[in-house]
Chain A
Amino acid sequence: MVKKPTFSQEIANMLYASHGNPLSSCIQCGTCAGTCPVVHYMDHTPRKLIGLINSDYKDEVLASNTYWFCASCYHCTVRCPSGIDIAEMMYALKRYSMWKNRYREGLIGPVFSETFVKTIVKSGRSYEPVLAPTYLFSFGIREFVQEAVTATNMMIKGRLPVLPPRIKRLENFKQMVGRIIPIGEVR
């Protein structure tokens, strides 16, 4: 008889690669929440998010913006007294919510990440201008103008690439990618 894993087991299973301790070892001390530099923008603190996962509150976790606000600074990870790699958990949750296509509406992060990955798979290099539309259109007029001014200033100083860079052995590179994600020919 096959037993379906609970949500907390699913997330715990995604953490194997990070070599941290399991989420079940969380003692809810709140060191992560007290350390996190972005905590004020998160709807649940990292501590609370771990509590929600451990209690199988799947819908609440998937509706949360917390992990998309994680900047991967790993401060929580190095301080966690239970040795949980919390930043790596945030990555796991990002991936999980993208696989399930159940991330909160209005977030820029998921689209930005997908566009970034597509750019690299196609050219071997990242290219900032391709990424701009993923966030610019969510901006208000004021933010849009400010961002345009910053970009223009950087352009004047020669700090933005005009042409998209690409690696030389691109065909080999694409074949290499194809051996990891067998999606046929990468175009």
Chain B
Amino acid sequence: MKKYAYFPGCSLEKMAQSYHLSTIETTRKLGVELEELEDWNCCGATTYFHVDQLLAHTLVARNLAMAERKSLDLVAPCSACYKNAFFTNTYLKNDQDLAEHINFALEEDNLHYSGNIEVLHLIEVYVKEVGYEEIRHNVTHPLEGLRVAPYYGCQILRPRKNHEDVEQPRFFEELISAIGAEPVNFPERLRCCGGSLILTSREAALSMVHLLLKSALDHEAEVIATACPLCQVNLECYQQQVNQEFGTSISIPVLYFTQLIGLALEIPPKRLGLGTELVPATKVLSYARRETNE
């Protein structure tokens, strides 16, 4: 099976460590090799582009160059990292002047980028490289009956990357079906969680989070699945603040899609980083346990 350069990104070091752990565990079990980029740096997130575009592209280019040196395509689990890496890669491949300027800077770290690799979001590795059939084949523990709201968020899809459908995507639903769970109809699945507005424009972001949580609950989801650390933190860690601001009593676990896949592959919950949630995932675990006991 294929090998990739893995760029975890800053969030996965601590805030989203469970995403990191479950990524490592599930890819190993599915036969995908991830080699963590040595000495990777921050991709600039969304905020770096507010200040200086050229420097933002340079930061990303350093990571791309290190992956290229290993002759490996780059995989990013965070949607913002992915978007930055994808577009810097596209610009560097198509703009010789930009590439030359940035390569001049990269010399300082004895690096060079020639534009020979591709950038993927982690979820694409499961969807395209491994594939639904292979996942279904590996599932020993289908999460039958578990109602999952697939939350795509923004930057996996937007801006438009290759040829995927940005208005009616289905891959997240298919992935949930492949592990035996039930993808619920979640109309707000493509709507923004507020991203870093949670810090800079709190009121706006909390109302966006509230709307998403309410929509998931209205459609009787038992868990929201995400593929981005910022979405996860906004939807989970800020649930309590949403309840205080809106006088609600919302409580719905928000897990990474890799954690759900891991449970279906019978990887022990602890190794998937379960237990670090602020909103307990008891209900989800009961699906896993019930199956084990049978």
- Interface of A with B (CB < 8 Å)? 17, 37-38, 40-41, 68-69, 71-75, 77-78, 85, 87, 91, 94-95, 98, 107-110, 112-114, 116-117, 120, 124-128, 131, 134-135, 139, 143, 146-147, 149-150, 153-154, 157-161, 165, 167-169, 172-173, 175-181
Contact = CB atoms under 8 A, between A and B. Distances in A.
B42 interface: yes
Contacts of B201: 38, 41, 68-69, 108-109
Given A72-B195, A109-B50, A116-B45, A179 B104 contact: yes
A125 B11 CA distance: 10
A91 B62 CA distance: 22
B10 interface: yes
B53 A139 contact: no
Contacts of B47: 112-113, 116-117
Contacts of B17: 158-159
22 contacts: A38-B192, A69-B204, A71-B195, A72-B195, A78-B158, A78-B160, A87-B159, A91-B53, A95-B53, A98-B51, A112-B196, A117-B48, A125-B13, A147-B241, A150-B237, A161-B13, A167-B39, A167-B40, A169-B109, A176-B58, A176-B106, A180-B52
Nearest to A14: B53
Contacts of A98: 50-51
B46 interface: yes
Interface in B169-216: 190-192, 194-197, 199-205, 208
A94 B49 CA distance: 9
Nearest to B278: A153
A176 B57 CA distance: 12
Q: Is the interface of A mostly helix, strand, loop or mixed?
A: helix
A16 to B, nearest CB: 10
Contacts of A177: 55, 58, 105
B238 interface: yes
Contacts of A85: 159
Interface residues of B, number: 66
Given A75-B154, A150-B241, A176-B105, A124 B58 contact: no
A69 B197 contact: yes
A124 B13 CA distance: 14
Nearest to A17: B53
A126 B154 CA distance: 21
Contacts of B203: 41
Nearest to B166: A78
Given A72-B46, A150-B278, A169-B109, 13 more contacts: A68-B201, A71-B196, A73-B155, A73-B191, A74-B159, A113-B50, A120-B41, A150-B238, A157-B276, A159-B237, A161-B14, A167-B40, A177-B58
Interface string B9-46: 01001111100000000000000000000011110111
A134 to B, nearest CB: 8
